Amino acid sequence: MPAGPITINDNGAWCWFQDERALVDPVANTLLVGSVAAPEGSGGSSRGGNIEVAVLDLATGQSTVHVLHGRLESDDHNAPALLVRPDGRYLAMYAKHKTDNFSRWRISTRPHDASEWEPEQQFDWTEPAAGRGATYSNLHRLDVESRVYNFVRAVNDDPTLMVSEDDGSTWRFGGKLFTRPKVGYVNGYARYCGNGADRIDLITTDHHPRDFNNSIYHGWFPNP
């Protein structure tokens, strides 16, 4: 790769609560980075809200940007989470900032190639989340279970599970991580880290910091 700074995407917003926002595909020798374009950035309002995946060639330093959903919503909550399936195809998951009730996903058409994607599909949170909306996407696969989890802020504004038995082709509601009363704006901010095999760890607060004097907690999923 050439020395010096490299621009991966010239208009790429994200926040801390989606993962993996970036991943390396060693087969293709590429770095994939998910983000959402801002109307104040390059491309202006015609690009604002685009859900994008930038692919950086680690040998040449050249980056190519692919659009997953044009002008979905200009909000950093909407950046996609990414996962490489066992068959080499990419899974991208994204949602609005509670302005509707859907988690959306697309799967790349070919292994190790982000240039073309199958049509977008949607998981409807209207019933389980009582129409309160959904946001954030966090994809983790546990190989011992051959199962993919997507952690979403949905039911009661708690961390909530979607589960896939077929590497993201279809999804079902998997339940809620915590059982606690709603306080203020949101029930906690969570970050996740999976080992890819048999465990997903998380850290979380109680509630929004403007509403509660938070503690920080650590846990893991699933329970042994």
Tokens of 183: 């306080």
pLDDT tens per residue, range 137-192: 999 999 999 999 999 999 999 999 999 999 999 999 999 988 888 888 888 899 99
Higher pLDDT among residues 5 and 34, named by residue: 34
pTM greater than 0.75: yes
Does residue 20 have a cis bond before it (omega within 30 degrees)?
yes
- How many angstroms separate the Cα of 118 from the Cα of each of 18, 32, 137? 22, 18, 19
Q: Which helix (H) or strand (E) holds 201?
A: strand 200-204
pLDDT above 80 for 2: no
Q: Which pairing describes strands 102-110 and 200-204: parallel, antiparallel, or unpaired?
A: unpaired
Domains and CATH numbers, the chain: 22-179 (2.120.10.10)
From the DSSP assignment, how many helices (H) and strands (E) are in the chain?
Answer: 0, 16
- How many angstroms separate the Cα of 114 from the Cα of each of 29, 53, 88? 13, 8, 11
pLDDT at 224: 57
pLDDT tens per residue, range 70-97: 999 999 999 999 999 999 999 999 999 9
